[in-house]
């Protein structure tokens, strides 16, 4: 092969001359991750938190069955709404993804123990993209810590 027809190297072995390709890949990855965050924020804000916050009969029935009543329903709804908003705030996105993951662990436990595992897969499925976001945006956690230390 001549030098002009050299094969494209993978992202991990890119040379300084391949910075445009790396930059384009990084930009596409950033956009895809941001789109995932928006989709999850919409899911948590509208599909999950809203029924709890407006006391939809299905949410009321579920929380009554758990024995948590309206206080637990509104609390979980507010936590989900706060997590949805925080997923969209750059300095909070990693922490929000970790917090929502913890909430999903609790949801999984409740689904298995109270509802006999009826929808137990849903929280587990949601943990996967949340973990990806938490890991990919972990640099923002350091930014948040610097901000908190500066304000303290």
The answer to whether 82 touches 131, Cβ cutoff 8 Å, is no
List pLDDT tens digits, range 29-83: 999 999 999 999 999 999 999 999 999 999 999 999 999 999 999 999 999 999 9
Residue 111 in tokens: 């689904």
Tokens of 65: 């069955």
- pLDDT-derived band of residue 5, with 50, 70 and 90 as boundaries? very low
Q: Output DSSP code: residue 10.
A: P
- CA distance linking residue 108 with residue 123, whole number of Å: 6
Which token pair is 21? 């390709």
pLDDT at res. 16? 52
Question: Are 127 and 101 a contacting pair, CB within 8 Å?
Answer: yes
Q: Which helix (H) or strand (E) holds 103?
A: helix 93-113
Residue 28 has pLDDT above 80, yes or no: yes
User: Which pLDDT band, with edges at 50, 70 and 90, does 22 fall under?
Assistant: confident
């Amino acid at each position: 092969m001549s030098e002009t027809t050299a094969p494209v190297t993978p992202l991990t072995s890119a040379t300084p001359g391949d910075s445009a390709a790396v930059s384009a890949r990084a930009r596409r990855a950033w956009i895809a991750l941001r789109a995932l965050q928006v989709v999850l924020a919409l899911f948590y804000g509208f599909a999950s938190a809203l029924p709890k916050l407006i006391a939809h009969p299905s949410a009321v029935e579920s929380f009554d069955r758990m024995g948590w009543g309206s206080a637990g329903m509104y609390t979980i709804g507010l936590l989900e709404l706060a997590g949805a908003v925080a997923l969209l705030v750059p300095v909070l996105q990693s922490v929000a993804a970790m917090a929502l993951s913890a909430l999903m662990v609790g949801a999984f436990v409740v689904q298995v123990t109270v509802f006999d595992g009826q929808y137990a897969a849903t929280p587990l499925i949601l943990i996967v993209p949340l973990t990806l976001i938490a890991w990919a945006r972990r640099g923002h956690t350091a930014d948040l810590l610097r901000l908190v230390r500066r304000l303290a």
